[in-house]
Amino acid sequence: MKPFQNQWRKATSAAISTLCFLCALMVILPLALILFQLARLGASSVDWNFLTHLPKPVGETGGGMANAIVGSFVLVALAVLIGVPVGLLGGIYLSEFGSPRLNWAVRLAADILNGTPSIVWGIVVYALVVVPMKGASAYAGGLALGLIMIPLVLRTTEGMLALVPNSYREAALALGIPKWKSVLHIVLRTAGNGIVTGVLLACARVAGETAPLLFTASGNQFWSHSLSEPIASLPRQIYTYAGSPYDDWRRQAWAGALVLILFVLALNAGVRVLTRGSSKTGAK
């Protein structure tokens, strides 16, 4: 090969490597910009008042999103109550009992549910709960988020249980322990960290969902006194305020967004710590 050709090849390789590096930078850039803007526009408005007060009526400045923050926690808690038992037990079935053919079908169905747009969940739960109950409620919102959680939890549970060595299950069976006890006390406990990780990630995901809540939990400018009333939520409040013509509401939208993203990122960071811990014990 001629020396020129070799140089050309090396130059091409170097150019493409640089291009790939620049692309990676471009992918990260929006994240950096979003976090920067959130901190710049949101930080000045997040104070004690914002975290502990109800929204003020239109035209008055001040007020906060206390009800929306609490509402988001309530909705996520309801979602966990619905999504985790179903997803967890379903995942256990796939990994401990299932047959290849059934597992394939369940996985396909779970992936389809995972890919179902969140707005579709919103109108389905609207038809299912809001119409018969004649009004939006925290139950409906929690159900919508919970249904979104089911396939997420199911898939991670199955994946995590598959990592538990078979010798553990065999040892338990050899001791004469019934299978259900061995699954609950040995297999599940071994995979515990991974499953908690999956549940936390699912929580982070649904905590930021807006579309399923629009018509199910609706919104509320006040405290909700019962779960059958409409309830405020952080993403929904951000959406309402973001589109409003009032400067003060827009300012609060940024503040709310900062609180929401800190919550979501904290969950994600918690997950990183958890998984790092488990990988260390795994190496032992």
Partner 1 sequence: MMAAAAKAKIVLPPPSKAGDAAFRLLTCGMALMVFVLAALVGWELFQGSKLSLQRFGWSFLIHDWDPGNGNFGALPFICGTFVSSVLGLMIALPLSVATAIYLTELAPAWVRRPVVALVEMLAAIPSVILGLWGIYVLVPWLRDHPYPLLQKLIGWLPVFRGHIYGQCILSAAVIIAIMIVPIITSMAREVFRAVPDSQREAAFALGATRWEVTRLAVFKGSARGMFGAAMLGLGRALGETMAVTMVIGNSTDLSASLFAPGSTLASAIANQFSEAVDDTYRSALFELGLVLLLVTIVTNILAHLLIGAVSAPKDASRV
Closest separation in Å from C-beta 241 to partner 1: 9
Site string for partner 1, 221-260 (x = CB under 8 A): --------------x--xx--xx------x--xx--x--x
The answer to whether the CB of 46 falls within 8 A of the CB of 255 is yes
H helix or E strand, kind and range, residue 175: none
Contacts of 144 (CB under 8 A, 6+ apart): 121, 122, 124, 125, 212, 213, 216, 217
What number of CA atoms fall less than 13 Å from residue 267's CA on the CB side?
Answer: 19
**9 binding partner 1? (CB under 8 A):** yes
Closer residue to partner 1 in complex, CB, 66/113: 113
- Does 183 participate in binding partner 1 (rule CB under 8 A)? yes
Taking CB under 8 A as the criterion, the residue among 79, 147, 149, 195 binding partner 1 is 147
272 counts as binding partner 1 under rule CB under 8 A: yes
Residue nearer to partner 1 on the CB measure, 3 or 225? 3
Question: With contacts defined by CB under 8 A, how many residues of the chain interact with partner 1?
Answer: 92
CA distance to 80, 220, 272, per residue, from 75 (Å): 9, 13, 24
Q: Which is nearer to partner 1, 138 or 259 (CB)?
A: 259
User: Under DSSP, is residue 16 helix (H, G, I), strand (E, B) or coil?
Assistant: helix
Least separation in angstroms between residue 225's CB and partner 1 is 23
Residues 188-227 that bind partner 1 (CB under 8 A): 204-205, 207-211, 214-215
How far is 122 from 215, CA to CA, in rounded Å?
6
Q: Which of residues 74 and 84 has its CB atom nearest to partner 1 in the complex?
A: 84
Residue 184 CB, shortest distance to partner 1, in Å, is 8
* 16 makes contact with partner 1 (CB under 8 A): yes
Restricted to residues 70-99, the positions that interact with partner 1 (CB under 8 A) are 85-94, 96-98
Residue 261 amino acid letter: I
Does 177 sit near partner 1 (CB under 8 A)? Answer: yes
C-alpha span between 198 and 268 (Å, rounded): 10
d(CA 261, CA 103): 35
- State which of residues 3, 59, 100, 115 lies at the interface with partner 1 (CB under 8 A): 115
Task: State how far the Cα of 249 lies from the Cα of 205, in Å rounded to an integer.
Answer: 25
